[in-house]
Amino acid sequence: MEREKPTGLTNPIVERLRLWQRFHVRLTMVYAVTVLVAIGTMGVLYYRQSLATEMEVLQNKLNANTLAIAEILAPLLESELQDQQVDASTTARLQSHLAAIGKADRDIASFYIFVPTETPGVLRFVVDWTRDDSAAQPGERYDARNSGKMLEAFAGPLVEDHLYEDQWGWSLSGYAPVVDSTGRTIALVGADILAPRIDSIKRRVLWESASVFGLSALILMVIAAFVGANVRRPLSAIIDATNAIASGNLRARSQLLRSDEFGIIGRHFDAMAKGLEEREMIRDALGRYISPDVAARVLADPEGLELGGEEREVTILFSDLRGYSTISERLNPTQVVRLMNLYLGAMQEVLDAHQGVVIEILGDAILAVFNAPNRLPEHPTHAVQCAVAMRDRLHALNREWDESGESKVWKESGAKDLGARIGIHTGSVVAGNLGSTTRIKYAVIGDAVNVAARAEALNKSLDTEILVTADTVARLPEPLAALGTERGAHPVKGRQQAVTVYAF
């Protein structure tokens, strides 16, 4: 029966990360958010700066137009306004001048000329030109007391720095005084850019800013996708390989053929995985030639290979097959090997289940120890229960061989079922590594081993299957000890004191 291969990896935890827990997603998000915030901030600044530039252009345009009109029309207005009246023909000429200038600049919504009245803050239209033909009539009064900085412009050219509202709606206005030859302000030229035109400029600037932001965001998404993929692929390869190893597949490799940091990690990871695979192969090989517990001890602690041992109380179990020589005479070597492999495999399972450590397998004989190399409280109990289980398992094997016809070869020659003789004794031994610097083995040395072997041999003369010495029975719990039947004290070769044994 083939023993299960130890992997050394029990209860593997294969972690599955959610999308937002993945490093490349977090890295991409941090990168994207940072750049988006930077681009967004730059977009806002670009929008504000562009809008401020556009507004400055409009203000300069208002200032230039009003100054030009004031300078051009100053002589005409000076001669016509001497009596504070302007005739129809002059009004028409002024209207024509303003219309010509207005048609040349699509941003300007209206041009107008005011003169003061006897009422402070109230002005009178000399002429008014509007693009939508909603002009005021000549002589119509206009209350300028709530019209922003209009009245201040009589002292010098001025442009409003924000929109204001009057009866014609919201607008941005610029003014320039008309000065006569004596330096006296005789009129005021004004120009308006209506709010809808300014709003359209704002929308255009906003659209340009949004387009720049959108294009930058699109480029960022492409770069982020590239960066994310460049990080995701090697990380996924390493995670998949790690999960495979955690699940017991020590042949998994990341196979990252890269020249960056991930390539270095991948090469080191693959080297580590190869080392783990080789270590597991060594452990498996050791576990087949020696006890898995001894193999684990050697691999876990480099000092476990040092020669020497420690004195420890253990329980020794010695087992031998009854009738093995007779049966082996009836079988060819191949059949003998198959039979022994089935038997030893089944016994190994039972010993492992009861935490016994096999020290030697000599043909059909098994030498096992309890409480070495690993500590095992109540080792006498484990040993006796293991012996009973080994006997039961061998009986079950005989039934299986009978049902399969496996035992027909030796039973036809008069041989009986296979039976085991087991001897158990508890005592002090020296447990540790014996040998030389080039070859060592884990062993137990002491009188307790000899007594267990003699107890096993007594089974033949007493016609029993399991004999346990009194030293072991004295350490058993009462219910288990009560199952034993005393078979007297017997001399043991090489020992002066007789050994009392109990049959189980």
Residue showing tokens 């009129």? 187
Please state the rounded mean pLDDT for residues 325-337.
79
Residue 171 β-bridge partners:
164, 194
Choose the weakest-confidence range: 24-28, 186-190, 221-225, 369-373. Answer: 24-28
Cα gap 130→14, rounded to integer Å: 78
Please state the rounded mean pLDDT for residues 68-88.
77
Tell me the whole-structure pTM to 2 decimals.
0.49
In single-letter form, the type of residue at position 381 comes to T
Reply yes or no on whether the pLDDT at 15 is more than 70: no
The highest-confidence range among 39-53, 331-345, 353-367, by mean pLDDT, is: 353-367
Which has more pLDDT, 347 or 441? 347
Average predicted confidence (pLDDT) for the chain: 81
Choose the weakest-confidence range: 104-113, 203-212, 456-465. Answer: 203-212
What the chain holds in terms of domains, given with CATH numbers, is 308-503 (3.30.70.1230)
In single-letter form, the type of residue at position 212 comes to V
Q: Give the number of C-alpha atoms closer than 13 A to the C-alpha of residue 504, restricted to the C-beta side.
A: 33
Nearest to 194, CA basis, from 160, 145, 149: 160
How does residue 424 score in pLDDT terms, banded at 50, 70 and 90? very high
Which has more pLDDT, 23 or 416? 416
Reply yes or no on whether the pLDDT at 71 is more than 70: yes
Nearest to 380, CA basis, from 453, 455, 494, 472: 472
Reply yes or no on whether the pLDDT at 315 is more than 90: yes
Cα gap 169→273, rounded to integer Å: 79
- Per-residue pLDDT reduced to its tens digit, 132-145: 878 888 889 998 88
pLDDT score of 176: 92
The highest-confidence range among 256-260, 300-304, 383-387, by mean pLDDT, is: 383-387
How does residue 14 score in pLDDT terms, banded at 50, 70 and 90? very low
- The SS3 of residue 147 is coil
pLDDT score of 349: 93
Choose the weakest-confidence range: 15-29, 273-287, 395-409. Answer: 15-29
Cα gap 30→217, rounded to integer Å: 14
Please state the rounded mean pLDDT for residues 445-456.
92
Are the CB atoms for 154 and 141 separated by under 8 Å?
no
Residue 190 β-bridge partners:
112, 175
Question: Cβ atoms within 10 A of the Cβ of 268, count?
Answer: 11
In single-letter form, the type of residue at position 369 comes to V
Q: Quick one: how far is CA 100 from the chain centroid?
A: 72
Token code pair at residue 305: 């290979």
Reply yes or no on whether the pLDDT at 484 is more than 80: yes
